[in-house]
């Protein structure tokens, strides 16, 4: 049955084995039905492939009653679509593993965060489903801000955004994926009894300011499209579909509502009729959103006219912004400026057991390290969650290992 599931997902046997750090010959024997999948590995394999553990234990004979449509999870219908590659599916599988590990970790530490459930449910129950999609997005964003720390001030929220998403139980992942055509996507991870929204932003050749908008765009999708398996946003794809308009409206209103625009403009002495590269860069650095989103919000709030909007879109603020914010630097420039300690920390977040190395989110790694420091998980479990071998984990976090054994 495993072979049929892999075929339906569009993931090769050896590819899946490599991503999950399992001996490919052993994995091939499982796929062929020659050996049983160990019970200890069934939960993570089921979570990664988005199937039930019981389906993995189906024999080839008993599984004949299932058609391809019966066994193909909704998410893989989306990720086998036109233009998508095997690398896209590999990233999804790794992120789904991460979601499963995070669920396990929170069960052990008894720090499970499900705030997103009440927030999402309140939004779905409150927003008028017959309203224009743009207004639906704005209304949802206002409710999201009220329910979270985003609504507690009128300043840019980029510095707290990722921590806020993590605190509500949303898994936010930013990975450089140069081979991918995806700019961002959203889907749910975990078992049917314990789902978790996941939002992904491709960090390859994108700025921190742009990724703030991507992450919130994907949160908008997670709220409004929970039954689609996944929502995919391709690089440079047109945003004409209703669900894209709604998600973009949500992201814009969540990150830069009128009060944030006004506060930023007042704090830097901005004059809307005399904007230039320097003042625009200052606004971007203050609001923590990319120029495109900033201008769109300012236009909708009546601060900019149509002709002025089009003119400002053509201004290059990159050099001015680099002088105002470290977030405008490339990864290499940022690490060079921050020094060896920051570079080492990036290395500590990179997986080594997976055939495709990925850089794990800071909050995810911190949660694992804290659990190990508090002796809630063993070094072998901590290594499994960070997708490195135990020796690597202890080398990377040796000081914590020593503290835990004092």
Nearest to 88 by CA among 234, 272, 208, 211: 234
Position 303 confidence tier, pLDDT thresholds 50, 70, 90: very high
Position 73 confidence tier, pLDDT thresholds 50, 70, 90: confident
How high is the pLDDT of residue 160? 94
Using CA atoms, how far residue 364 sits from 90, 172, 266, in Å, is 19, 9, 37
Tell me the DSSP string of 383-401: HHHHTS-HHHHHHHTHHHH
How high is the pLDDT of residue 316? 95
| Residues 225-279: tens digit of each pLDDT | 998 889 999 887 777 789 999 999 999 999 999 999 999 999 999 899 999 999 9
118 vs 120: CA distance, rounded Å: 6
366 vs 197: CA distance, rounded Å: 20
Domain 2-72 part of CATH 1.10.260: yes
Could you tell me how far CA 168 lies from the centroid of its own chain? 13
286 vs 295: CA distance, rounded Å: 14
184 vs 236: CA distance, rounded Å: 11
How high is the pLDDT of residue 277? 95
| Residues 116-151: tens digit of each pLDDT | 999 999 999 999 999 999 999 999 999 999 999 898
**402, pLDDT greater than 60:** no
Specify the range with the lowest mean pLDDT, choosing from 48-62, 151-165, 220-234: 48-62
On whether the CB atoms of residues 153 and 284 are closer than 8 A, the answer is: no
3-state secondary structure of 194: coil
Calculate mean pLDDT across residues 215-228: 95
How high is the pLDDT of residue 57? 79
Q: What are the residue boundaries of the structural domains of the chain, listed by start?
A: 2-72, 332-404
How high is the pLDDT of residue 404? 44
| Residues 146-155: tens digit of each pLDDT | 999 898 888 8
**60, pLDDT greater than 80:** no
H or E segment at 175?
strand 171-175
Tally Cβ neighbours within 10 Å of residue 153.
Answer: 12
47 vs 202: CA distance, rounded Å: 22
**Prediction pTM value:** 0.92
**399, pLDDT greater than 80:** no
How high is the pLDDT of residue 8? 85
**5, pLDDT greater than 60:** yes
> Angle, nearest 10°, between helix axes 242-255 and 133-147?
40
Tally Cβ neighbours within 10 Å of residue 41.
Answer: 15
How high is the pLDDT of residue 405? 46
**192, pLDDT greater than 80:** no
How high is the pLDDT of residue 343? 66
Specify the range with the lowest mean pLDDT, choosing from 100-114, 162-176, 281-295, 389-403: 389-403
Calculate mean pLDDT across residues 371-380: 92
Nearest to 161 by CA among 119, 94, 209: 209
How high is the pLDDT of residue 62? 65
Tally Cβ neighbours within 10 Å of residue 267.
Answer: 13
Alpha helices for 127-257 (secondary structure H): 133-147, 158-168, 208-224, 242-255
**289, pLDDT greater than 80:** yes
How high is the pLDDT of residue 17? 92
Q: Which residue has the higher pLDDT, 302 or 398?
A: 302
Q: Which residue has the higher pLDDT, 35 or 190?
A: 35
Q: Which residue has the higher pLDDT, 181 or 332?
A: 181
Q: What sign does the dihedral 150-152-155-158 (CA atoms) show?
A: negative
Q: What is the DSSP letter of 110?
A: T
How high is the pLDDT of residue 210? 94
């Amino acid at each position: 049955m495993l072979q049929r599931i892999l075929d339906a997902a569009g993931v090769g046997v050896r590819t899946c084995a490599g991503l999950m750090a399992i001996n490919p010959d052993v994995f091939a024997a499982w796929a062929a039905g020659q050996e049983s999948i160990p019970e200890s590995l069934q939960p993570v394999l089921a979570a990664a492939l988005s199937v039930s553990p019981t389906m993995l234990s189906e024999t080839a004979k008993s599984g004949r009653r299932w058609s391809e449509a019966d066994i193909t999870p909704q998410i893989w219908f989306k990720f086998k679509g036109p233009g998508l590659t095997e690398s896209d599916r590999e990233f999804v599988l790794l992120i789904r593993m991460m979601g499963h590990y995070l669920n396990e970790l929170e069960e052990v530490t008894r720090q499970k965060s499900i705030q997103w459930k009440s927030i999402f449910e309140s939004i779905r129950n409150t927003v008028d489903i017959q309203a224009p999609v743009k207004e639906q997005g704005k209304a949802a964003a206002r409710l999201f801000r009220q329910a979270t720390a985003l609504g507690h001030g009128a300043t840019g929220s980029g510095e707290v955004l990722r921590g806020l998403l993590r605190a509500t139980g949303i898994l936010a992942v930013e990975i450089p994926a140069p081979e991918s055509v995806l700019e961002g996507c959203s889907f749910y991870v975990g078992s049917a009894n314990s789902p978790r929204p996941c939002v992904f932003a491709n960090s390859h050749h994108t700025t921190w300011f742009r990724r703030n908008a991507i992450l919130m765009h994907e949160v908008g999708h997670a709220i409004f499209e929970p039954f689609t398996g996944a929502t995919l946003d391709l690089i440079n794809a047109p945003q004409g579909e209703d669900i894209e308009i709604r998600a973009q409206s949500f992201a814009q209103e969540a990150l830069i509502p009128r009060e944030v625009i006004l506060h930023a403009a007042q704090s830097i002495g901005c004059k809307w009729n005399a904007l230039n590269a320097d003042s625009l860069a200052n606004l971007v650095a203050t609001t923590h959103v990319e120029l495109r989103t900033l201008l769109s919000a300012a236009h909708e709030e009546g601060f900019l006219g149509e002709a002025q909007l089009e003119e400002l879109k053509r201004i290059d603020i990159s050099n001015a912004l680099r002088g105002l914010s470290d977030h405008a630097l490339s990864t290499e420039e940022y690490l060079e400026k921050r020094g060896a300690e920051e570079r080492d920390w990036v290395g500590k977040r990179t997986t080594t057991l997976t055939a495709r190395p990925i850089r794990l989110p800071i909050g995810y790694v911190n949660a694992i390290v804290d659990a190990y420091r508090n002796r809630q998980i063993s070094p072998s479990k901590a290594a499994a969650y960070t997708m490195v071998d135990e020796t690597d984990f202890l080398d990377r976090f040796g000081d914590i290992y020593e503290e835990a054994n004092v």
